[in-house]
Amino acid sequence: MLSFLPSPLIFIINMTMISIASCLLALPLIFLALIRLILPFKVVLDTVDALNQLVFRGFCVHNNLLMRITTKVKWDIQGVENVKVNGSCIIISNHLSWTDIVMICHIYRGRIPITKFFLKQSLIFIPIIGQACYAIGMPFLRRYTRAQILKNPKLKTKDLDSTRKACQSLLVYPSSLVNFVEGTRFTKAKARSCKSPYQNLMPPKAASLAVALGMIGKNIDCLLNTTILYPDHKGQGSIFYALLCGRLDRVIARVEVIDKEFIEQKLVGDYIGDKQFKRSFTNELRSLWQKKDEQIANLLGIEYNPQANSAPILDTTLNTPAAAADAATAAAAAPTEAAAPTDAVAPTDAVAPAEPAEPAEAQAESEANEADSKAEAPAKSLKIDNNLVSNSKDKQ
């Protein structure tokens, strides 16, 4: 409707409306969190959760409506037609831009429970927004340097502990846990630096996803494998900024539903303590990523040649050098980049998604990690507590 207006004016409209809506809808979340803290009774907690879901859907409706009014995005979404999650689910996706946060919530609007993203620890101190994120149950992560971990080895388990805590909450209150498996946004420089074996993707990081599925894989409805592309964005600045200015023309999304049977047979196990399962899980994830890489090339209409260092990509965020062998997987296990508490476009840089802390990983264990060069390997002493799921159920 308003896409005919000059881009600077559309930007001002979007930023103003998003900022106002974010503040107005964040305040009820904080109030509900105080009620939860003061009256921790089941009937109160269930009511608060239902109201949180309602507020979240308010964010979704607001932002979807705003996109319709101020942009002319053409949607090409396939695979989501029969998705309807009543319990909890896990969403995995490639990651190109902050805009992915908005798109995931738009793609699955009305089909899944409230989405939860892993947030950078510093975002909790942002007035109103940070507290709203905490109130709604977003997990917060903190990045530690190698020097800090060597000084205090206990720090290397912090982020996996946050992953476990977030998974426990999914068993009690239905949610959708979003995991950008690459751990960071795809860029040409990052792909070159880590020698990605994929043409359009960063190497997937298995640890956090494996830990999550090991805990709640048997209790979630499904795993939603999502692919997001912005094929008409030619690299003139940020995709996120293009969205705010009403210049984002087309979005492609493909969804693959991975059912409970496959999850239980192939993706549930002790990733930390079982070397054979760790190798099997990593191979399954790599196979999934290989298919996604080929799918992206096909959707973009480019020749698939992951070994070509100069493969032409339509979007600068989708460029890749080539790469080495299968053994190149990332060295950390960050679940995702941080995000705002809903699908809202972040009103300021302060609440925009930022890269979270990646859990530090110990030195590779000999046999298991020979097949996983630089693969995620939290200390062997970390064991998944098999009682967490049953204990969480008892608490219900």
Per-residue pLDDT of the chain (396 residues; tens, 9 = 90+): 787 889 999 999 999 998 898 888 888 888 888 888 898 888 988 888 888 888 888 888 888 899 989 998 999 999 999 899 988 999 999 999 989 988 998 999 889 988 888 777 777 788 777 878 877 777 777 766 677 778 887 776 666 676 777 777 777 778 898 989 898 888 878 888 888 899 899 999 888 889 889 988 999 999 999 999 999 876 667 899 999 999 898 999 999 999 999 999 999 999 988 999 999 999 999 999 999 999 999 999 888 887 643 343 333 333 333 333 333 333 333 333 333 333 333 333 333 333 333 333 333 333 334 444 443 434 333 343 444 334 444 444
Q: Can you name the residues that pair with 115 across neighbouring β-strands? A: 176
Question: What whole-number distance in Å separates Cα of residue 285 and Cα of residue 267?
Answer: 9
Non-local (6+) Cβ contacts of 12 within 8 A are: none
What 3-state DSSP class applies to 91?
A: strand
Q: Which burial class, exposed, middle or buried, applies to 70 when counting CB atoms under 10 A from its CB (0-12, 13-18, 19+)?
A: buried
d(CA 170, CA 217): 11
Helix and strand numbers (H, E) in the chain are 13, 8
Tokens coding 174: 């239905």
Torsion of CA 277, 279, 283, 286, to 10 degrees: 110
How far apart are the C-alpha atoms of 193 and 157, rounded to whole Å?
26
pTM of the model: 0.72
Radius of gyration from C-alpha coordinates of the chain: 20
Q: Which of 117, 97, 94, 115 is nearest to 255 (CA)?
A: 94
Nearest to 263 by CA among 206, 227, 224, 207: 224
pLDDT at 319: 37
- Which DSSP symbol is given to 360? P
- pLDDT at site 145: 67
Question: Cα(3)–Cα(11) distance, rounded to whole angstroms?
Answer: 11
If one counts every other C-beta atom within 10 angstroms of the C-beta of residue 387, the result is: 9
Quote the CA–CA distance of 92 and 95 in Å, as a whole number. 10
What was the pLDDT predicted at 320?
Answer: 35
The first and second tokens of residue 263, run together, are 């999850």
Given a contact cutoff of 8 angstroms between Cβ atoms, the answer to whether 96 and 318 are in contact is yes
How many CA atoms within 13 Å lie on the side-chain side of 173? 21
